[in-house]
Amino acid sequence: MLDTLLSGQLLFAAAVLGALYALIGLGLNLVYGTMRLLNIAHGDFLMLGAYGAFWWFTLTGISPLIALPLIAAGGAGIGLALYALVFRKQLATGLAPAVIEARSLLLFFGVSVVIQNVTALLFSATPRAYRHLDTVYQIGQTAMTGNRIASLLVALAILGGVLVFLNRTLFGLEIKALIQHREAARIVGINVSRVQIVAIALGFGSAAIAGGLLSMTEQVTPFMGFRFTIAAFVVIIMGGLGNILGGIVAGFLLAVIEIYAVTLFSAEARSILIYGAFVAILLISPQGLLGRARR
């Protein structure tokens, strides 16, 4: 058992899963943090990214990894259109964050249903899949499939890039300021709507990229997103709502629980272990792992 627990195989599995969870949580967290929008359609944007990658590869035969910027731009574009048509007015009403949250939850529920069904109408609900980078590489005792290595590297690069952007650039600091204290950010002269637009683009774009990565290893259907919406919410609540670093840490923690706890106990106990840990963390630290009271 100890051999198994210390094996590179489990570490690799946890790293791939954790990086994807963190990436999925990142987008949701940026949108929530800057605008208090609870995007329950987050997984559906991931699904759109997966379809983007599928069609790109099917029609061009070129690696979907090359098309990731295009896929991200598509996700960001749809996010921005939604923002311009629906949410900008909501946010401009000056309503209390709690009201915005409640309304956005319902609005995004509607968006989710529309996206799923339009996708099903356009492409049919038939599961889709393609074969890409499926060579298995053996490094020592650890076997790694090419598409899983690529997913890990791309997700890590985006997570790292976003962290650097948020902490090392003036614009990134403006985003963080808006997340930390909306009114104060406005008072010190931060252009709130510009920051919101960038947060939307990053949030929805990263969801689409996560979908593009997942399409290399999973079947693509119009209804694949819901599972990831749930995972994203678990991740960002565990990490502290709006806390970007906390969400990333929580993404990896969730994967570690999923991989190692299943190894120690049983796969059947997966949900009990994940949600047990989730509840335990919130009991000990009600604002999440790295969260703190927010205004």
Of 266, 275, 279, 280, which one interacts with other proteins (CB under 8 A)?
266
Per CB under 8 A, contacts with other proteins among 129-158 are: 129-131, 134, 136, 143-145, 148
Residues 6+ away with beta carbon under 8 Å from 259: 10, 13, 14, 17
Which residue has tokens 């300021």?
Answer: 177
Distinct helix (H) and strand (E) counts, the chain: 14, 2
The answer to whether residues 235 and 207 touch, using CB atoms and an 8 Å cutoff, is no
Smallest distance from other proteins to CB 4, Å = 6
The Cα–Cα gap between 169 and 156 comes to 19
Closer residue to other proteins (CB): 200 or 231 = 231
Closer residue to other proteins (CB): 11 or 86 = 11
Smallest distance from other proteins to CB 199, Å = 27
The total number of residues shown for the chain amounts to: 295
When asked if residue 122 is in the footprint of other proteins (CB under 8 A), the reply is yes
Q: Near other proteins by CB under 8 A, which window of 88-96, 98-106, 186-194, 218-226?
A: 218-226
Site track 36-55 with other proteins (rule: CB under 8 A), x = hit: -------------------x
When asked if residue 102 is in the footprint of other proteins (CB under 8 A), the reply is no
Q: Which of 14, 24, 22 is nearest to 50 (CA)?
A: 24
The beta-strand segments (E) located in the chain are 136-139, 142-145
DSSP state of 127: -
HSE at residue 184, side-chain half, CA atoms within 13 A, is 10
Q: Which residues lie across from 139 on neighbouring strands? A: 142
DSSP state of 77: H
Residues 6+ away with beta carbon under 8 Å from 20: 151, 155, 210, 213, 214, 251
Smallest distance from other proteins to CB 9, Å = 6
When asked if residue 116 is in the footprint of other proteins (CB under 8 A), the reply is yes
When asked if residue 259 is in the footprint of other proteins (CB under 8 A), the reply is yes
Smallest distance from other proteins to CB 226, Å = 10
Smallest distance from other proteins to CB 225, Å = 12
When asked if residue 120 is in the footprint of other proteins (CB under 8 A), the reply is yes
For the record, the structure tokens of 271 come out as: 């949900």
The answer to whether residues 35 and 197 touch, using CB atoms and an 8 Å cutoff, is no
Smallest distance from other proteins to CB 132, Å = 10
Smallest distance from other proteins to CB 288, Å = 21
H/E element, 98? helix 97-123
- Residue numbers of the site for other proteins (CB under 8 A)? 4, 7, 9-10, 12-13, 16-17, 55, 58-59, 113, 116-117, 120-131, 134, 136, 143-145, 148, 217-223, 227, 231, 255, 258-260, 262-263, 266-268, 270-271
